[in-house]
Amino acid sequence: MADIIQLLPDHVANQIAAGEVVQRPASVVKELLENAIDASSDSIKLIVKDAGKTLIQVIDNGKGMSRTDARLSFERHATSKIRTAEDLFSLNTKGFRGEALASIAAIAHVELKTKQDLDELGTQIEIEGSSIKNQDVVVTPNGTSLAVKHLFFNIPARRNFLKSDNVELRHIIDEFHRVALAHPDIAFMMYHNGSESFNLLSSNYRQRVVNIFGGKTNEKLVPVEEETEVLKISGFVGKPEFSKRTKNEQFFFVNDRFIKSAYLNHAINSAFEGLMKDGSHPSYFLNLKVDPKSIDINIHPTKTEIKFDDEHTLYAILRSAVKHSLGQFNIAPVLDFERDTNLDTPYSYKNRHGATPMVEVDRSFNPFRDERIGSKPNYSTTSYRKEPAAQWESLYVGLESKGTKTDHHFSEVEFESDQKHDSLFSEEKQVETSQTTYQLHNKYIICTIKSGIMILDQHRAHQRVLYEGFLKHLTLKEAVSQQLLFPLALKFSSTEMTLLGQLKEDLEHTGFVFSSFEKDTLEITGVPINVPESEVSILLEQLISDVEQDVPDSHFSATDLLAKSMAKSLAIKTGQALTKFEQEHLVNSLFGCKAPSVSPTNRVTFITMSVDDFDKKFM
């Protein structure tokens, strides 16, 4: 029998490895940015076209590579980070597997330009599908420029699985944020389709967070500092009142490497217990420093998960550090009713010296001086007091008491009362309809029907009514808006503003009127009918959360998602009491819909029970 086991060719092995390393354009961005950081760069530029499908280019001013190193960097398992197996447990750098460039070169067109400081000329290498097409000497600045073009050009099936440009760009921006937050001392720039998206100068950690997520973030941040033999914590957590419905502002960095950890995330949520609303998530930007020998970062292909030696200790330290910061800065409530917060000394005054108080004395003041100059008080009586009778009795001078003559006039007094208006609904009609609907526990509406009763979920039913209304406005583009007396200004991060910009036209079709759409500020002058001004911010945050989670690709699904999100935010909630008229109006509106039996999320809106069902209960 012939042998059937054979070794894979290198280009096939590279394509298989690329399936783990390169899942989408954001994976290439992550690998190239981390390589630039390992090259000791202090300025890194990211250039993206068509959400990375056409071009991803990273330019740095780092060490650069020699001619031999440039050629070897595209070989499998070629790395400058490790020499022995023990080095895997003492890593202080990013890329170390030696598969990134080889995997990228197997599925794209790659152009590398690199030059070291002492060299007069640099090296240029062009690769297409793992095969080197050209290697030459080139004039280039110090550092490295690596351009990845036409990603997945030789694997069309993988290219077809990529999402829309908006979705892929969102993933690229997420990776850019993670790398930029981990290294605030490095300047980062990002350009997409020729326009500048980010220009982050070298700064401290707080400024880096504010520059990425907008100026409004500065007031949200609460510093967290803790240092023990096991763990050193530094960074910030967000105030509970600024909690979000999404987890977009949750960042853990272990030894300057972004990680995801559900266990440590639970420690943060535990510290915020009782301070946030249900469904909200705290924001945090925390740097953790641990001994490299106590962690294993090679358990996941993307290196976003880490294995800790002693997770329980880290959990306890992290939870207590966050709770301490919330209490230290008066974020958490204190059960001390005799404590006056006005007497608290601000932490900014801890190094200040107390100033000597200045006391001014009026030396001419005499407490025994009489008010009337030159007159002496009369002490002949046992007690001396002023008699103000002349002041108030003078008010009644000239008035005569009529005695009993006025008593009989009280029967002629007419009291002013509210003017009576005829009810919009006659008394008879109200009596008839008041018995047709009942509200149970401010959650369900019970209606009598010919065959028995119908039980309706008021929240889901109202969602269906609003959903079809918003969908109609979005389709026909004939929405009615109510103008605000004063413009409403809301602040969002650059990523959220980009997402809202994509939905701006659809939002205008629902009734929103925008007067300005700046970099991080949104000004609204009109809102849809029946949308309270206080609910606008909550509605837009819920919309951003829903869009980021559902990630619509087509215009139709984006329109449908917008209608669903607005209906979910504005629908009457469980626990809200409704009048008889509101109950009947909701029932009638529901059965005027095209699909009254299910909510926009395909959940049942009502059930029916016949008289036979009740008879069976009593058998």
Please, are residues 63 and 116 in contact by the beta-carbon 8 Å criterion? yes
Cα–Cα distance, 323 to 329 (Å, whole number): 10
Residue 286 bridge partners (DSSP): 235, 252
Is this prediction's pTM over 0.85?
Answer: no
Only one residue has tokens 């001392």, namely 185
For the segment 439-464, the average pLDDT, to the nearest whole number, is 90
At 81-138, the pLDDT tens digits run 665 655 555 666 665 455 788 888 888 999 999 999 888 999 999 999 888 889 999 9
| 2-11, 169-178, 572-581: least confident range | 2-11
Most confident range (mean pLDDT) of 113-127, 208-222, 237-251, 415-429 is 113-127
Cα–Cα distance, 512 to 508 (Å, whole number): 5
SS3 state at 103 = helix
Is pLDDT above 60 for 425? no
Query: Phi first, then psi: what are they for 549, rounded to 5°?
Result: -80, -40
Of all helices (H) and strands (E), which one includes residue 35? helix 25-38
Only one residue has tokens 């597997």, namely 97
Axis-axis angle for helices 262-271, 311-328 (nearest 10):
30
Q: What is the pLDDT of residue 56?
A: 95
Count of beta carbons in the 10 Å neighbourhood of residue 24: 21
Confidence bin at 396 (pLDDT 50/70/90)? low
Give the domains, in start order, of the chain with CATH numbers: 10-200 (3.30.565.10), 212-328 (3.30.230.10), 437-607 (3.30.1370.100)
Amino acid at site 51: A
Cα–Cα distance, 46 to 40 (Å, whole number): 16
Confidence bin at 3 (pLDDT 50/70/90)? confident
Q: Name the percent of the chain lying above pLDDT 70.
A: 78
Which ranges constitute the DSSP H helices of 192-299? 205-213, 262-271
Confidence bin at 148 (pLDDT 50/70/90)? very high
User: Strand (E) positions, 218-290?
Assistant: 221-227, 232-238, 250-254, 257-259, 284-289
Amino acid at site 402: K
Q: What is the pLDDT of residue 542?
A: 80
Q: What is the pLDDT of residue 516?
A: 84
For the segment 250-267, the average pLDDT, to the nearest whole number, is 90
Is pLDDT above 80 for 536? yes
Strand order across the 55-60 sheet: 131-138, 122-128, 109-115, 143-149, 55-60, 43-49, 187-192, 195-200
Residue 285 bridge partners (DSSP): 236, 251
Strand order across the 221-227 sheet: 221-227, 232-238, 284-289, 250-254, 257-259
At 557-613, the pLDDT tens digits run 667 888 888 888 888 888 888 888 889 899 999 999 998 999 988 899 999 998 888
Cα–Cα distance, 241 to 219 (Å, whole number): 11
The two three-digit tokens of residue 166, written as one number: 């908006």
Residues 6+ apart with CB under 8 A from 296: 89, 306, 307
SS3 state at 124 = strand
Confidence bin at 431 (pLDDT 50/70/90)? very low
| 177-191, 366-380, 466-480: least confident range | 366-380
DSSP 353: P
Please, are residues 190 and 48 in contact by the beta-carbon 8 Å criterion? yes
Confidence bin at 444 (pLDDT 50/70/90)? very high
For the segment 422-444, the average pLDDT, to the nearest whole number, is 61
For the segment 170-187, the average pLDDT, to the nearest whole number, is 93
Is pLDDT above 80 for 250? yes
Length of the chain: 619
Amino acid at site 132: I
Count of beta carbons in the 10 Å neighbourhood of residue 212: 22
Please, are residues 458 and 444 in contact by the beta-carbon 8 Å criterion? yes
At 313-348, the pLDDT tens digits run 999 999 999 998 888 877 765 555 566 666 666 666
Radius of gyration of the chain (CA): 36
Is pLDDT above 60 for 418? no
Is pLDDT above 50 for 293? yes
Only one residue has tokens 């202080």, namely 92
Q: What is the pLDDT of residue 553?
A: 54
Confidence bin at 368 (pLDDT 50/70/90)? confident
Confidence bin at 426 (pLDDT 50/70/90)? very low
Cα–Cα distance, 85 to 79 (Å, whole number): 13
At 42-91, the pLDDT tens digits run 999 999 999 999 999 999 999 999 888 888 888 876 766 665 655 555 66
Of all helices (H) and strands (E), which one includes residue 189? strand 187-192
For the segment 229-238, the average pLDDT, to the nearest whole number, is 92
365, with CB counted inside 10 A (0-12, 13-18, 19+), is exposed
Contacts by 550-557, CB closer than 8 A, 24 or more apart: 551/163, 551/167, 551/170, 553/163, 553/164, 553/167, 554/164
Mean of per-residue pLDDT scores for the chain = 81
Q: How many CA atoms lie within 13 A of 392 on its CB side?
A: 3
Cα–Cα distance, 150 to 306 (Å, whole number): 32
